Structure formats: C-alpha cells, structure tokens
Amino acid sequence: MSGIKQGDRVSFTFVATLKDGTVFDSSSDPHGDDCGCGGDGPLEFTIGGDEVFPALEQAIIGMQVGETRVVELSADQAFGQRDERGVVAVPRSEFPDDFDLEEHMMLELEGEDDQVYPAWITGIEADFVTLDTNHPLAGEDLRYELTLDSIVPAH
C-alpha cells in the first residue's frame, strides 16, 4: 500500500486548534459556510493543487490510510502575521442606509484591481465602521490532528 504522493486526492478527518487548544475547525463539528473556514465535513484536497498551506501538504506526504499525524504550523506557515495596516476606518456613509451592519460580519471588498478581498467588521460607530482585512487567524500558530481516510491516486 503506497502513501500520499503528488497529484493524489486525499480526504482527512481532522481537528484544528490554536496554540492554547481552542478548536477553530473540525470535520466532526463543521461550522458551515458563514464561518469563513470552508469546513463541512472531511478536509479534501489534491496534493500539489495549491488548496492548503504548503507546509501542511509537505507534512502529510507518505501518510497511509488510517494513519493519524499531528502537524503544527507557525503563523508564518499559515495565515501570516497580523498587519495593522489592514485595519481601516470607513465612513458609515459608504454603506447603504438600509445595510444591516453587524460586528464580525464578513464583507467582500473589490480592490482597484477588480479582485475581491474579504474584510471583517470589527467596530461600528456612528460615523465610521472599522474593517479588518487580516484573516481572523492571522498571527496564530495552528495545530492540525489529521487522520487519513482515503487516497484517490493520481492518474
């Protein structure tokens, strides 16, 4: 039986935690589409498909079905360090009057390059709304406990 290699499609049962043990994602208790993590069951991706962090992908090469492995990623290997330049105050007048703003809500902002960027509302004042374009897990070290459920070999 061969282990994971480039081009294989893999599926994992997993629990993902912060350094302090706080669970931020899990295949057994998915958050749904609105959490921003994309979780809804097993973690599935293609090796070499740029779908997960490169350090995570490298750490699982060679795993066998049924094997469990713990992978720890530094913030730099995951979502990067927080950048305070990514926190901006936007005039409340930039939002439609009937737009229901809520803290922690994710918005999609269109940049000058027509690319869409996520931003989270972190504060709402009478005249300004504070947006944070950092990923909510930026600056965090992450720990993944992964059990390999299946491998679909590359053709």
| Residue 20: exposure state from Cβ atoms within 10 A (0-12, 13-18, ≥19) | exposed
Of 147, 130, 50, nearest to 95 (Cα)?
A: 130
> How many other β-carbons are positioned within 10 Å of the β-carbon of residue 112?
5
Helix, strand counts (H, E) of the chain: 1, 9
d(CA 66, CA 59): 16
pLDDT band (50, 70, 90) for residue 1: low
In DSSP notation, 3-67 reads ---TT-EEEEEEEEEETTS-EEEESSS---GGGSS--SSSEEEETTSS-S-HHHHHHHTT--TT-
- Which amino acid is located at 58 in the chain? Q
Spell out the domains of the chain, with CATH numbers in brackets: 9-80+137-152 (3.10.50.40), 84-132 (2.40.10.330)
Contact 52, 46 (CB under 8 A): no
Give 50-98 pLDDT, tens digit per residue: 999 999 999 999 999 999 999 999 999 999 999 999 999 999 999 998 9
pTM of the model: 0.79
Give 88-139 pLDDT, tens digit per residue: 999 999 999 899 999 999 999 888 888 998 999 999 999 999 999 999 999 9
User: What was the pLDDT predicted at 39?
Assistant: 53
